[in-house]
Chain A
């Protein structure tokens, strides 16, 4: 690759050069080789030192298809004192099975639709947790939050401006826009071990200013409106940085909805909501005083069309309801107990949260309330990530654009087999209690 004249190397410090030459061992050398390659691909001029946190898919022993580590290689690194340089958290349950941490006993799903690999099989579950690899990572400092919304349980959030390296897509705007910290999609063993990441994208102040003004003629104030609006903003803006107007002050749940949706409908890693997000006290701050490149109006008709695109069903007979994409926070769970206490679900209702919140929910009595209502609280996983819906399910109801968008991809070879009803959480609860979909754009 060195002959490529138009593929410049980043400027490395003397320390980084020494690591690249292998003077600090092969593990760090491989990490540096990988980060240098990322710099060359992205056009990054240098590496930055991380002063925030890392987030990565686990176990993650392979950095890509060409650079990776054996267990023994990392074990030797750990034995010699090798540790993560920055606080590092696990998103999702371990790959590639991505098994539920809690509730797997009720998870009648064949992993990636392989009948030989069932999530409710104790032997499969034990293997899917990758204990040996995870124990090694824990010795390096891995904090096993195992959630796509692990910011809910980190208890150590990056400060405004802190350089992080996260990987989970819905967490990109949570880190950049909601928290005001800085990340690209690059959390890995390499960034965690070296505490460095390529300097490009959202790490660069100039790239974080808003360039597109987004307006709407509907006051965005409900959870589903934030979800649908987020998806539409993503579709309209893709990798640009929008300045989003027309909303009430987002709740934590609404930030979760908007962030996951704008990273599904598009690739919005950073946005501003003037008056709400930390880098946008005013529109002028959000744009750096520069004029907008363009304006986008997402009116009610576009929102309705977006809603209809997320619905993918010809029947109103629902077989299952799934809530918890991204994983539900503790207030969501508390509110759900109010809606379900004393009721009885007619069809399966699965509720997904972060593993560490599951423990709190159990202590608060929520698990028992859900169980009495015929619902199941689970943690750490996701239907789309497990690559399937439970056996016998032809039509599923969800309250999140992200899950609606991804779950059908698992069934592409079966055409319209898997139907998806998308709507509000109340629409989903109603479907769980009646077995019928009554949701509509209101």
Chain B
């Protein structure tokens, strides 16, 4: 059985969900640089350029740019959010998205999570569990 790593943090939006992680290795940005109707980022030269995030656990350090980051909570949105640093941009996004979200962890989950891992968000109890994908 694959080993699970549990990390405690702050519930940003309550609920429980499990899904496949999609990791953004670079800041995500909203406004014109996301297409909520299509469910992917549209920022030029971004590693996740046109990579679908719908239904995934979208994992990132922190967003940048416009308050339009809230559009990540519109339309074909992720199933949940895990991110290192909270900010007014993530607050705006979560008030739109209303999906389970965790932040401000006891240790940075971005050190462990890779795209394709399984992430269980239990925001009601204040933790996430990471199960590594099979190599």
Contact = CB atoms under 8 A, between A and B. Distances in A.
Interface string B27-42: 1010111110000001
Contacts of B96: 64-65
Contacts of B98: 65-66
Contact of A267 (B31, B63, B94, B124): B63
Contacts of B13: 7, 41
A37 B93 CA distance: 12
The CB with the most chain A CB atoms within 10 A, among B64, B89, B96, B104, is that of B64
A41 B64 contact: no
Interface residues of A, number: 46
A185 B67 CA distance: 7
Interface residues of B, number: 44
Contact of B14 (A1, A38, A168, A172): A1
A238 B32 contact: no
A43 B10 contact: yes
B50 A4 contact: no
Contacts of A3: 14, 124
A4 B95 contact: no
Contacts, number: 128
Given A41-B12, A41-B94, A5 B49 contact: no
A238 B67 contact: no
A172 B14 CA distance: 28
A312 interface: yes
B115 interface: no
B106 interface: no
A145 interface: no
Interface of A: 1, 3-7, 34, 37-38, 41-43, 64-66, 167-169, 172, 184-186, 198, 201, 234-235, 238-239, 263-267, 269, 309, 312, 384, 387, 405-410, 412-413
Q: Which 9 A-B pairs have the closest CB atoms?
A: A412-B42, A409-B32, A4-B14, A6-B126, A185-B88, A409-B33, A184-B88, A6-B11, A409-B42
Given A1-B14, A41-B13, A43-B10, 16 more contacts: A4-B11, A5-B124, A6-B11, A38-B95, A185-B89, A186-B88, A186-B92, A266-B64, A267-B89, A406-B31, A406-B32, A406-B33, A412-B42, A412-B43, A412-B44, A413-B42
18 contacts: A3-B124, A4-B15, A4-B123, A6-B124, A38-B95, A42-B86, A43-B10, A43-B86, A43-B104, A65-B74, A198-B91, A238-B27, A264-B66, A266-B64, A267-B27, A312-B44, A405-B43, A409-B33
